[in-house]
Amino acid sequence: MDLMEKLASLAKRYEELNTLMAQPDVLEDIPRLQRYGREHAELEEVVQRYYELVETERQIAEAREMYEGDEPEMRELAFEELERLRDRREHLLEEIKIALLPEDIMDEKNAIVTIQAGAGGEEAALFAGELFRMYGRYADNRRWKIEILDINETDQGGVKDITFVVKGRGAYSRLKYEGGTHRVQRVPVTEASGRIHTSTAKVIVLPEADEDIDIDIKDSDIRVDVFRSTGHGGQSVNTTDSAVRITHLPTGLVVTCQDEKSQLKNKVKALSVLKSRLWDLEQARRQEELSKSRRSQVQTGDRSEKIRTYNFPQDRVTDHRIGLTRHNLAGVLNGELDEFIDNLITVDQADKLQRLFEAEAVV
């Protein structure tokens, strides 16, 4: 089935749904009406673009007929119209191809983000803290909310590791491109000789677990420890043992949550994070099984991959996955990430489109 046949088939189904949703028996069956409504909404964008494409093809045929006529003035007008219509057709085809890409059901979810200081000691911890503030400002710009689940700070104001939830529609769809190793190059405040040091921090981004993530956690597979919550520099901030640490025995994964004063609430949140991390492990296993297929260059899943460098002496931020460099380091650290993320999304969509049509060609 070529592209136009596939689009015609989708349009036929779209019209069928229009008819079905107007039938009395369907109007009385709310679950069925909702199911048809969701399918109708999913098809609407691509079908409307298809209708525009069909109309454009009709206009191209008319303009071509006019161009092949005997009147010189009409030929010139028809030539200009053909150029415009052909550009319109190409634009519509690109929009249709993107609309046909399979939706990632995780994209609309909240994002669970973990930042871990890497090589570089205290300087790496300070950088990890700056990354957290960068994502906080980015979230503010998009009117998302941030909720810290667990934080391990240093005496000098750095962050050894922090886990937080970014709450807002589509948070995971954009922040998932931030996963990987971030590198900073600058002169640390503790460096007397003025030498530039390189430090790193690892960022892990997962969709928040809910009913769409089918992961079963058995009680026999986990160990739950409770302890007293601590604040900056290890200072106790709670007089009760409300913090929760869950260890998943089969994988060795450890999740800690001490945000809430209630032990039960901390346990629920920790289980949610654990579920997301187990889902991530399963996705990585499946990706490994499909390793013969070409992976997207912007989402390899390899968290050891160096994805971005923040160079303070040169006021430079470079995303190594797409070769994009901007001399606006202060702005980026202030949450101006959209240019990087938008370009990453564009490259990722192009890569997925290529793989989609390569697969169809093989079939």
Total domains in the fold of the chain: 2
Structure confidence at residue 358 (pLDDT): 57
Tens-digit pLDDT profile for residues 65-98: 888 887 777 888 889 999 999 999 999 988 887 7
Structure confidence at residue 284 (pLDDT): 74
Beta bridge partners, 255, equal: 246
Res 234 pLDDT > 80: no
C-beta separation of 260 from 235 below 8 A: no
Same domain, 69 and 122: no
Question: How do beta strands 159-167 and 145-153 pair?
Answer: antiparallel
Q: Is 91 inside any structural domain?
A: yes
Entry field: residues in the chain = 363
Structure confidence at residue 355 (pLDDT): 65
Same domain, 79 and 174: no
Same domain, 306 and 264: yes
Q: Is 131 inside any structural domain?
A: yes
Q: Is 360 inside any structural domain?
A: no
Instruction: State the residue range of the domain holding 164.
Output: 111-291+301-350
Structure confidence at residue 357 (pLDDT): 56
Q: Is 105 inside any structural domain?
A: no
Q: Is 72 inside any structural domain?
A: yes
Q: Is 73 inside any structural domain?
A: yes
Task: Tell me the pLDDT band of 237, cut-offs 50, 70 and 90.
Answer: very low
Same domain, 202 and 95: no
Same domain, 157 and 88: no
The structure tokens listed for 155 are 């005496």
Same domain, 51 and 194: no
Same domain, 72 and 166: no
Same domain, 163 and 17: no
Burial of 321 (0-12, 13-18, 19+ CB in 10 A): buried
Look up residue 168 and give its amino acid: G
Tens-digit pLDDT profile for residues 252-305: 999 998 877 788 888 888 888 898 888 888 877 766 654 444 444 455 444 457
Structure confidence at residue 294 (pLDDT): 40
Q: Indicate the helix (H) or strand (E) that contains 223.
A: strand 222-227
Res 353 pLDDT > 70: no
Structure confidence at residue 132 (pLDDT): 97
Task: Tell me the pLDDT band of 241, cut-offs 50, 70 and 90.
Answer: confident
CA dihedral 63, 66, 71, 77 (to 10 degrees): -10
Pick from 80, 100, 120: which residue ends a domain?
A: 100
Same domain, 92 and 230: no
Q: Is 357 inside any structural domain?
A: no
Same domain, 117 and 92: no
* This prediction's pTM: 0.66
Pick from 35, 69, 100: which residue ends a domain?
A: 100
C-beta separation of 16 from 36 below 8 A: no
The structure tokens listed for 45 are 């964008």
Give the domain CATH number at 278: 3.30.70.1660
Q: Indicate the helix (H) or strand (E) that contains 281.
A: helix 263-289
Q: Tokens 């906080």 map to which residue?
A: 136
Pick from 68, 100, 132: which residue ends a domain?
A: 100
Please give the mean pLDDT across all residues of the chain: 85
Tell me the three state secondary structure of residue 155: coil
Structure confidence at residue 52 (pLDDT): 95
Structure confidence at residue 356 (pLDDT): 60
Beta bridge partners, 205, equal: 113
Question: How do beta strands 197-207 and 111-117 pair?
Answer: antiparallel
Give the domain CATH number at 91: 1.20.58
Same domain, 146 and 183: yes
Structure confidence at residue 249 (pLDDT): 92
- Residue 91: DSSP 8-state: H
Task: Tell me the pLDDT band of 232, cut-offs 50, 70 and 90.
Answer: very low
17-33 CB burial, b ≥16 within 10 A, e <16: beebeeeeebeeeeeeb
Within 8 A by CB and 6+ apart from 336, the residues are 138, 141, 328
Q: Half-sphere exposure (CA, 13 Å, Cβ side) for 195?
A: 5
Q: Is 65 inside any structural domain?
A: yes
Range name among 139-148, 174-183, 206-215, 233-242 with the lowest pLDDT average? 233-242
The structure tokens listed for 343 are 């370009």
C-beta separation of 89 from 344 below 8 A: no
Same domain, 47 and 192: no
Task: Tell me the pLDDT band of 99, cut-offs 50, 70 and 90.
Answer: confident
Structure confidence at residue 350 (pLDDT): 73
Helices 72-100 and 30-67 cross at an angle (nearest 10°) of: 150
Q: How far is CA 37 from CA 23, 26, 49, in A?
A: 13, 11, 19
Structure confidence at residue 62 (pLDDT): 92
Average pLDDT (237-251) is 79
